[in-house]
Chain A
Amino acid sequence: MSAPAPAVPLLDGRLKDLLAGKVVVLTGVTGFIGEQILWKMLTELPDTTPALLVRPKGSTSARDRVVTLLKKKIFTEAREAAGGAEQLLEARIRVIEGDLPRVPELPADLDVVLHCAGDVSFDPPIDQAFRTNTIGTRALMEQMLAAVTDADGRRTKIPHYVHISTAYTAGRRRGAIREAAHEHDIDPQAETERGMALLELVESQSRTAEQLTKLRKEAEREHRQAGYLTTAADTERRRKEWVQRKLVEAGTERARSLGWTDVYTFTKALGEKVVAEVGRDIRVSIVRPAIVESSWKHPFPGWIEGFKMAEPLILAYGKGQLPEFPASPDSVVDIVPCDYVVNAILAVCATEPEVGTPVYYHSNSGARNPLTFRDLYGYIREYFLAHPFEGGARGAAALPEWNFPGAASVERLLFTSERAASLADRAISLVPRSKLTRKMASELDRTSKELSFLRRYLSLYNEYGQSELHFVDDNTLALHNSLHPDDVDAFAFDSAAYDWRTYLQDVHCPSITAPVRRMEALRRRRGQRPTTYRDLSRDGAGAGEGPGVLAAFDLDGTVMTTNVVETYLWSRLPELGPLSRAREVGDIARRLPGWLRAERRDRGSFLRSVYRRYAGADLAALEEFVDTAMAPSILERVSPDAVRRIREHRDAGHTCVLLTGVVRPLTRPLEPLFDVVVAADLATDAAGRCTGFLAGPPMVGESRSAWLRHYAASHGIDLQASHAYADSHVDLPMLSAVGNPVAVSPDVGLMRAARQRQWSVVEWRAAAQAPRLSLPARR
């Protein structure tokens, strides 16, 4: 090389020789890059000892986690050579159980500390970002220094600390970025303390009366009918979400206020400063990869673990869900294959930088093999045109064509769509339930899901899509050029060595779409139906053994298409004269809006106010009337599907329970179908006349689940094996109480809950063959 010698230490031999006999402490081995580093060490560096700092997870010890890791496909060769995962671990690896930032003592014979643990998310809560990137880094380095310091405070050796950062620590700078420390005068320590303090603050804020009231009201709007406990659980869930959201916001805003795109790159940048500061008297190298994607060659082309940055977007595009992207068509997407990053890192480990002078390396492609957004889009589009996703029943999705209209226009489009979706959502909560409503609601949900996906990814990647950063990689190239010729094949990391069309279309896309395709094929074979609606035909045989099973049914809307107001009118109107009839109907019509409001608030009080009108009715006469005149109207509206299902349960030996808020006399025609009928009992006075009050609270919402639990406990019934059928959101607690809940022709609220929880949704129709307005005759 004729250029002035860079201040970069070069390699003077084979890597396996340079790293022979060395102990490399490695963090983040369970991550994407760490895993491949370990693989590379085990396969290409036979005399190097990796010492893995691994966090125990739950009841799984660090060692077990490593054993599990070694059982992965890429380690097959190494594992078989050693005679098994355990043997491989024994022979080659040391495991240090510990966690960042609570780093345990490190071995005194360490030579290199390779820190590649980090967050995978761009928008972690601010406390978490600092904990990992500044506090964690400092703790690791301090333990490293402690390990190489003897009792007298003298260094026993000078370790090499290799820090994996990210190229985007450059933040919102523009233009060429040199391989050097970024210039800024932010004090990492102070910033970290402030950031961590926010956790306490936000937690406290979330518990203020104002905030809790606000959250409770939100929860009530959705769950009030279901009862207090459901609402409370949802309030707490919302509070936790709120805390999380606030911490994320705090991070993003702090980062932007200082010139970074997000808290991830911001804290990573501060981490670099910590490294330089703590490592001022040892050897320090900092590797800054750009966007790391699947491998070009090793362990095999396309190797990738989990989804990284670009995959969700590529997959969404392939599914036709990404109509436009707010990127500049000419901005460079700085993608680098994983194995190139790993190779560069290991080469850096083998160098010996000067003490006190950190060396920076950019591991990227933008400098010498730039890929513009426009090209990326073109390659991906070509790939999906040639290999579309199988689109299920409606064929492959149409691939959107991007015009790159600019961020503002995409934002406008997104904003308008979000607005429309939220208006539609409000409207749909007001229309009466029907099959059509459900269909519209599920379409709306799909749209909203796509919109929120877009919103999330666009806001995350917006900045990257328009980045005008140009990362210089002279140090990295010089290092590559100093590779021993025999190492070039296994350790190459010159980003100009591949072409993007091949990489994207033959390596990357096939690799990341494969699991999606497998999943789709599986789903096609299995059908998408969640299966809480069980086939009961085999249950009959086992009846009588083991704990009992019950099947709980709601009445209104599930077994029968009617409602309490209608049944009330049936039972009361026939005995009135024409004038009083008109008066009664008018009165009820006048009260109806109030009742509907009441029902939205609390179904129990709604039922009470309807039942108040039974005051003065003779209970015995009411029962007689139901038996003789109303039974046809009731049976007319019973769904044959429901009856069939109830009878299947009975045939299977299950206890059938009718849980309803309607008054007991009205359930009389259905009594033969059920073993137990739980209904509202009208209180009567001494003369047998209804007082208009109930003998006990109506069976709605959480009282149903409580009843079920009590009944199950006292009758030896296994609720987990039991079934429940209901139609409205109020019945959520009842459905949640059993193992096989089924939503029957549900309202929108329940439909959404059912989809979220993977419950079966079935349609039970009742084709009443008498006009809805006909009244039972009373003689």
Chain B
Amino acid sequence: MARPGFVLTVDDRTPPLLVSEGDGVRLQPFPKGAEVVYPPDTAGRRVDAAAAVAAALAEGLDGAPLADRLRPGIRLTVTVGALETPAARGVDVRQHVVEQVLQLAATAGVDDVVVLAANGIGPRPTEEQLLEVLGERVVRSFSADGRLRTHDALDRDRLTEVAPGVELDARLAESDLVVDVSCGTGGSDVAADLVGSLSSLDTQRRLHRALRLDRAVPAAGAEVEGEGAAMVRSAVEALPLVSVRAVLDQVVHPPSLEFLGRREWEWRIRERATWFGLRRLLEVAPDRARRGVLQAAPDQGVLAVAAGSPAAVSAWSAERSAGAERVEVKGQADVLVCGVPHRTPFNAGTAVDPLVAAWSVLGRTLGATTGAPVVRPGGAVIAFHPLTPTFSARVHPSSADFFVDVLSATTDPEQMTEQEARFAADEWYTSLYRRQHAWAGVLPFQLWADVRAGAGQVGDVIWVGADRAAAERMGFRAASTLADALEIASDSVGRGPRIRYLHTPPHLVSDVQEA
């Protein structure tokens, strides 16, 4: 088990605390009495990935080894997902899984094998990324004869309807066995993940709420039990599927900056010096260089690996992640303060743009609870991000257009359906998605739907240090300091509100108990 998370109450001795603001970090003093929620610390509990994979494949959660299901002549498909998780330093755990599965298949005499890397509506993986995730051996031996493919949510020739309203990559329907390989820190639903990464664009648009953009968070509450979720489950149950999942530890910073994920009073002298240098560097460095420093690859390790039926693996990973992410807090706060992590599922290699930042706070952090929201209905959310409206023309081609053309007209997702359909069918976005490793054109709409759903639960959303025009366009407010933000919030939450700061990253899930 991990070192548990805990709640700190700010007093006289509390130093300024680290707050992430996308492509930057700051040390922010908090008012006395504020609660600071620290995530559990998973450091130092790694296992040997290769051995763990071998053990999991040898003994599935349901008892049967994978080898038993491999017979000569079957069609085997290995799907690789969770591509938003950066490849580990050294050998990625997904490479271990794929190599060992392929080894078992070869031993069993299976000839018809396809490896399918899938990222849903996200950027189709580049050759470079495939090499990092799968290793040179797999890429070299499979890509030459077209047995290593990347999923294309818009390729009508390769999609088929496996269940009513759910279109998946046709290869899955044709296979006798599908091994789904994924990894992550959270305990998300394997079925939803699989459909999320391997379905058609239309399916994703239809089931967006059930699939959730944020695969790292276990879907909570009634929503996942809806009609969409039932469709997802029935589609996945129809597949001959074995899931293999690796749970990773919560390291989010590159080794030299790992201390940023730890508690401030535990920083050592050398780390304080590093912080000092980092601050100076971030002050003078241009945006791109800042991103280079913070987004350098973290050294993420494997905590556990399991294989088995989707339902069993989902349950197993949910339980695992509970220990690694869950923190118990008492009651709901009036004001939620949170930062914006430098790494989200959407910004690999690019800036955290205003849409991603808003999603990170209102779609992810706010929703990461086991039940009751961490802030009371009508409470305020104060977030830290500059919201500079620049968007990557390469990775998020539609976001700039969404921000300029759509948000200027309305912030209500209900009124965006026409535009959403237009963006979905847009030739330029389509060509960038299919050929140039960009997100599909509908991404900003999905982000925005989550943002509005989150914002609907709370009152004011105030951004510290933000571009005022951008904040206003998104329907938020901007403040120059935390004190000003609290001043603005005092209209709705009064003087002396109960303030709760979620100290992320690493990610945490609040378990709100009765006060």
Contact = CB atoms under 8 A, between A and B. Distances in A.
A632 interface: yes
Given A632-B437, A769-B349, A771-B292, A779 B428 contact: no
B436 A635 contact: yes
A644 B431 contact: no
A397 B350 CA distance: 47
With most chain B CB atoms within 10 A of its CB, the pick from A639, A640, A669, A672 is A640
B289 interface: yes
Contacts of A641: 400
B59 interface: no
B393 interface: yes
Interface in A602-661: 627-628, 631-632, 635-641, 643-644, 647
A605 B394 CA distance: 32
Contacts of B350: 769
B292 A636 contact: no
Contacts, number: 68
Determine the interface band of chain A, counting residues with CB < 8 A from chain B: 20 to 34
Contacts of A643: 393, 397, 401, 428
B398 to A, nearest CB: 9
Nearest to B288: A771
Nearest to B347: A769
B436 A631 contact: yes
B436 A640 contact: no
Interface in B301-353: 349-351
Contact of B405 (A636, A637, A644, A669): A644
Nearest to A647: B428
A673 B397 CA distance: 13
Given A640-B400, A769-B291, A769-B350, A635 B432 contact: yes
A592 interface: no
A199 B59 CA distance: 107
B436 A644 contact: no
Contacts of B391: 640, 767
Contacts of A258: none
Nearest to A673: B428
B392 interface: yes
Interface in B421-445: 426-428, 431-432, 435-438
B347 to A, nearest CB: 9
A180 interface: no
Contacts of B400: 640-641, 644
B428 A628 contact: no
A637 B438 CA distance: 14
B514 interface: no
A576 interface: no
Contacts of B68: none
A632 B428 contact: no
Contact of A771 (B289, B401, B436): B289
A632 B127 contact: no
A636 B428 contact: no
Interface in B388-420: 390-395, 397, 400-401, 404-405
Nearest to B389: A767
Interface string A758-779: 0000000111111100000101
A33 B438 CA distance: 73
Contacts of A669: 436
Contacts of B349: 769-770
Given A631-B436, A640-B400, A672 B427 contact: yes
Nearest to B432: A635
A777 B395 CA distance: 17
B428 A766 contact: no
A766 to B, nearest CB: 6
A632 B129 CA distance: 14
Contact of B351 (A637, A640, A769): A769
A672 B432 CA distance: 9
B393 A636 contact: yes
B128 interface: yes
Contact of B431 (A632, A672, A777): A672
Contacts of A767: 351, 390-393
A631 B435 CA distance: 9
A777 B390 contact: no
A777 B435 CA distance: 17
B178 to A, nearest CB: 29
Nearest to B403: A640
Interface of A: 627-628, 631-632, 635-641, 643-644, 647, 669, 672-673, 765-771, 777, 779
14 contacts: A635-B438, A644-B405, A647-B426, A647-B428, A669-B436, A672-B427, A769-B291, A769-B390, A769-B394, A770-B288, A770-B349, A771-B288, A777-B128, A779-B128
Given A627-B435, A637-B393, A769-B288, 14 more contacts: A628-B127, A632-B436, A635-B397, A635-B432, A640-B397, A641-B400, A672-B431, A768-B288, A768-B393, A769-B291, A769-B351, A769-B394, A770-B288, A771-B292
